Amino acid sequence: MGTRDQELLQQLNLEPLWIPFTANRQFKAQPRLLVAAKDMYYTAHDGRQILDGIAGLWAVNAGHCRQPIVEAIKKQAESLDYATGFQMHSPGAFLAADRLVQITPKGMDHVFFVNSGSEAVDTALKIALAYHRVRGEGTRRVLIGRERGYHGVGFGGISVGGMTANRKTFNGQLLPAVDHLPHTHDLARNAYSRGQPESGAHFADDLERLVALHDASNIAAVIVEPVAGSTGVLLPPKGYLQRLRQICDKHGILLIFDEVITGFGRTGNAFAAQTFGVTPDMITCAKALTNAAVPMGGVIVKKEIYDAFMQGPESAIELYHGYTYSGHPLAAAAAIATLDLFKAEGLFERVAELAPYWEDGVHSLKGLPHVIDLRNIGLIAGIELEGIPGQPTARAFEAFLRAYEKGVLIRTTGDTIALSPSFIIEKAQIDRLFETVREILKTLP
Ligand code: PXG
Ligand code: PLP
């Protein structure tokens, strides 16, 4: 450690903070702190510039500390810090909602604001239950998720989610009426697919099996990530999402796309729903909605869903749900500036333009030690490694540590390296990202 490094760390008492999703004791013994950021780079506590290969965490899609967003937040903080959103509101949330529905799939024209992806998921699940109830189909209560799904960490999200570690500690299935579709990852058939794999639309047919088991009259909604991110970058097989949509329509089941990572350009269109040509009934989003500068999420719903609630006496509250910070002025200001910046700089189009170059970069890693699959879409890469026998995740985590030593931030989940840079990335930076991964793969245990 350098002197500067030690000085900063000496000022910090690391003990009181319980760090999320982190090996706390290991981290505190060997801390990695980020102290500043600009565009594609972080500054680490030892003064090094770190190339951010993961846009914060699938979130800073326009690059770090972008001036128009910084200015909008400053201006808002000086003029209106907070106003309740309950029976009152402030203009920013309306402006943000109006901007947002300009880029959503056709017919998805209302949004309920929350503060994170986890809250977006719990809100969407609650809207699904309440929607059926207001329409006189209150028996529809089963919520269907998918194995290897990640839907945040709320009780609803972990119940429909399919990440074992996130569930087992809390006694597995938590909501009383939940079931799961099988995941679609099929290495034997689909390894090294460029973009969507050919095989696997049939995995959607399991929904018919669940309908036969529970009966459609009891099923409220299906929630899936169009591209699973946190569980290792799993792309939907060709025709899979279409088939899910057909089966949901046939049985009156709502389809929810969790677009917390795929939203806001990541796959080359505003939403993955547009990339894959399938319109769900609800979309959950968060992260890049504000370029991650202020926490904010949303549930985007079809007009029919919103309208179903707008019945009964006009003085009655239609949905008994909301957060103190729903539509928070600071978050709304950040969202407006972010959505404007995406548009002004054509950043979603830039993803589509860069995608072929990115894809070639990803697949140039074929044949390197430990690599067993390469997956890509838009500006997302999944590099799956063979795990060290008996030590799952250890090899990928070592890759993460070595990349950080080389000044590049990557993310690993299980034994998969996931890359998801900001859309302002230059080709030379893409080259550096894959070059670093290449060098590391050659030296990993
Ligand atoms: N749904 C999806 C699809 C997500 O990816 C959430 C919900 C929850 O959002 P919040 O804002 O409550 O964290 C997410 C979050 C990773 C990683 O390593 C991804 C997420 C969170 C933490 C780690 O890929 N995504
Ligand atoms: N707990 C208590 C005691 C509260 O009063 C509130 C909100 O008023 C909450 C939890 C929920 O907090 P939030 O609205 O920020 O989700």
The third-level CATH classification (topology) of the domain covering 32-62+346-443 is Aspartate Aminotransferase, domain 1 (3.90.1150)
Indicate whether residue 322 lines ligand 2 (CB < 6 A).
Answer: no
Residues with Cβ < 8 Å from 49, sequence gap 6 or more? 41, 42, 43, 407
Position 4 pLDDT exceeds 80: no
CA of 324 to the centre of ligand 2 (A): 7
According to the model, what pLDDT value does residue 174 have? 84
CA of 81 to the centre of ligand 2 (A): 18
The atom number, within ligand 1, closest to the CA of 117 reads 9
Which mutation among 22, 58, 266 tests ligand 1's pocket best, with the greatest number of atoms within 8 A of CB? 58
Indicate whether residue 121 lines ligand 1 (CB < 6 A).
Answer: yes
Percentage of the chain beyond pLDDT 90 is 94
Q: Is 183 left (phi over 0), alpha (psi -120 to 50) or beta?
A: beta
Indicate whether residue 233 lines ligand 1 (CB < 6 A).
Answer: no
Break the chain into its structural domains and give their ranges: 32-62+346-443, 68-344
Read off the pLDDT of each residue in 374-403 and give the average, rounded to a whole number.
97
Contact 213, 249 (CB under 8 A): no
Confidence bin at 3 (pLDDT 50/70/90): low
According to the model, what pLDDT value does residue 425 have? 99
Query: Cα(334)–Cα(70) distance, rounded to whole angstroms?
Result: 8
Which numbered ligand comes closest to the C-alpha of 151? 1
CA 131 to chain centre: 25
Tens digits of per-residue pLDDT, 69-124? 999 999 999 999 999 999 999 999 999 999 999 999 999 999 999 999 999 999 99
CA of 158 to the centre of ligand 2 (A): 21
The atom number, within ligand 2, closest to the CA of 326 reads 14
Classify domain 68-344 by CATH architecture: 3-Layer(aba) Sandwich (3.40)
Q: Is the dihedral angle over the CA atoms 144, 147, 150, 152 positive or is it negative?
A: positive
Which mutation among 19, 260, 266 tests ligand 1's pocket best, with the greatest number of atoms within 8 A of CB? 260
According to the model, what pLDDT value does residue 8 have? 79
Tens digits of per-residue pLDDT, 11-49? 899 999 999 999 999 999 999 999 999 999 999 999 999
Tens digits of per-residue pLDDT, 286-311? 999 999 999 999 999 999 999 999 99
Confidence bin at 204 (pLDDT 50/70/90): very high
- Burial class (CB within 10 angstroms; exposed 0-12, middle 13-18, buried 19+) of 43: middle
Which numbered ligand comes closest to the C-alpha of 86? 2
Domains 32-62+346-443 and 68-344 share a fold: no
Which numbered ligand comes closest to the C-alpha of 115? 1
Q: Which residues pair with 371 in a beta bridge?
A: 385
Position 167 pLDDT exceeds 90: no
pTM, to two decimals: 0.97
Place of tokens 């505190």: 28
The residue type at 407: G
Question: Which of 300 and 164 is assigned the larger pLDDT?
Answer: 300
The atom number, within ligand 1, closest to the CA of 225 reads 3
The residue type at 236: P
With helix as H, strand as E and coil as C, how does the chain read?
CCHHHHHHHHHCCCCCCCCCCCCHHHHHHCCCCEEEEEECEEEECCCCEEEECCHHHHCCCCCECCHHHHHHHHHHHHHCCCCCCCCCCCHHHHHHHHHHCCCCCCCCCEEEEECCHHHHHHHHHHHHHHHHHHCCCCCCCEEEEECCCCCCCCHHHHHHCCCHHHHHCCCCCCCCCEEEECCCCCHHHHCCCCCCCCCCHHHHHHHHHHHHHHCHHHEEEEEECCCECCCCCECCCCCHHHHHHHHHHHHCCEEEEECCCCCCCCCCCCCHHHHHCCCCCEEEECHHHHCCCCCCEEEEECHHHHHHHCCCCCCCCCCCCCCCCCCCHHHHHHHHHHHHHHHHCCHHHHHHHHHHHHHHHHHCCCCCCCEEEEEEECCEEEEEECCECCECCHHHHHHHHHHHHCCEECEEECCEEEECCCCCCCHHHHHHHHHHHHHHHHHCC
Backbone angles phi, psi at 256, to 5 degrees: -110, 125
